[in-house]
Amino acid sequence: MLEIKNISKSLGGNSVLKHCSLKIEDGKVFGLVGVNGAGKSTLLRCIAGIFQVEEGEILIDGEPVYENEKIKKQILFISDDPYYPLNATLTSLKKFYQTFYDWNEERFQEFYKIFNLPLDKPINNFSKGMKRQVFILISLAIMPKYLILDESFDGLDPVMRLNFKRALMEILADGKMTVLISSHSLRECEEICDAFGILENGCIQTSGDLEALKNQVHKIQLGFKDEISKELFKDLDLLYFKKVSHIVTLVVRGDIEEIKQYLKLLNPILMDVLNVSFEELFIYEIMKKEGNFYE
């Protein structure tokens, strides 16, 4: 288990993480989301043991991560701009990572056939997408206990995105690897993540099981014969409310049957319950915290 306990971290004199706490169970695919500048990359670097926190602690299986060689060998961090030695090739990079991690050559060859990258050409001459593929291939061959991916899909074409997701799902099937993904593509996260955390104002504001959250948040469209006031909805846990003439659209948290019974008392002539995506959930959560859920 990964435990983040009340950590704080500043960079350049600016407070980035403030008393941030989180738990991630083994075998999960965890999506870390937040607006630009929320501190996602900083948090991932703290988890990987690259940055030392100023307060609190980060533990894996009860042991601290920072300067712990045994624990860090179980972690592979792929940043949004991965480091590689000058003039490195895929062949030399492979030897570099074999020095630090357990290596599965059979798995490397299996996925190499999919990515089909040049073995002996300088990585520096690769496109952004090809560079990303290099490190995805490396991570699939290492298969660490904790794989940390910062903007993992950035630069990948649709076919490579699909291949990567399929490969991840294949490896994750045995439940031995935990994956942390930070991505601006919430649709991609929704497809592969089973848990999530929203980072805002330096700490995790909301986290949990993604499917459970989606089952607790509902988008409902209502039609009324006459004009209706938003005050009639004040007893609901609203994340979003919009009224156009006699049509009301709302996003509300809670038990759907109880919500429907409440709304029926308002005598709508139309009531439709619509699906809510992870991307919408994120937007509504942020809007509500900023006090902007009414239109």
Tokens representing 120 are 């002996």
Q: Would you say 204 and 20 are in contact if contact means Cβ atoms under 8 Å apart? A: yes
Q: How far apart are CA 275 and CA 159, in angstroms?
A: 27
CA proximity to 168, closest of 150, 184, 191: 191
CB 236 within 8 A of CB 250: yes
Spans of all domains in the chain: 2-201, 213-289
Which CATH code is given to the segment(s) 213-289?
A: 3.30.70
Digit-by-digit pLDDT tens for the chain (295 residues) are 999 999 999 998 899 999 999 999 998 999 998 888 889 999 999 999 999 999 999 999 999 999 999 999 999 999 888 888 888 999 999 999 999 899 999 989 988 988 889 999 999 999 888 888 899 899 989 989 999 999 877 767 788 788 888 877 877 777 788 999 987 777 777 888 889 998 988 899 888 888 888 888 899 999 999 888 889 998 999 888 999 989 999 999 999 999 999 999 999 999 999 988 888 877 777 666 655 555 4
Distance CA 189, CA 282 (A): 12
Alpha helices in 48-196 (DSSP H): 69-72, 90-100, 105-115, 128-142, 158-172, 186-192
pLDDT of residue 215: 85
Q: How far apart are CA 29 and CA 193, in angstroms?
A: 5
How many Cβ atoms from other residues are within 10 Å of residue 236's Cβ? 18
What is the third-level CATH fold of 2-201? Rossmann fold (3.40.50)
Burial-class residue 69 by CB neighbours within 10 Å (0-12, 13-18, 19+).
Answer: exposed
β-sheet bridge partners, residue 32? 182, 197
What SS3 state is found at 28? coil
Strand partners, 60: 2, 63
For 109, the 3-state DSSP assignment is: helix
For residues 197 and 206, the answer to whether their CB atoms sit within 8 Å is: yes
**Residue in this structure with the two tokens 């630090």, named with its chain if needed:** 100
The reported pLDDT for the residue numbered 144 is: 92
The span from the CA of 148 to the CA of 191, in Å, is: 17
- Tell me if domain 2-201 and domain 213-289 are identical in fold: no
List all residues 6 or more positions away from 92 whose beta carbon is below 8 Å from its beta carbon.
Answer: 85
Rounded to a whole number of angstroms, the CA Rg of the chain reads: 22
CA dihedral of 232, 249, 197, 287, whole degrees rounded to 10: -80
**DSSP letter (8 states) at residue 294:** B
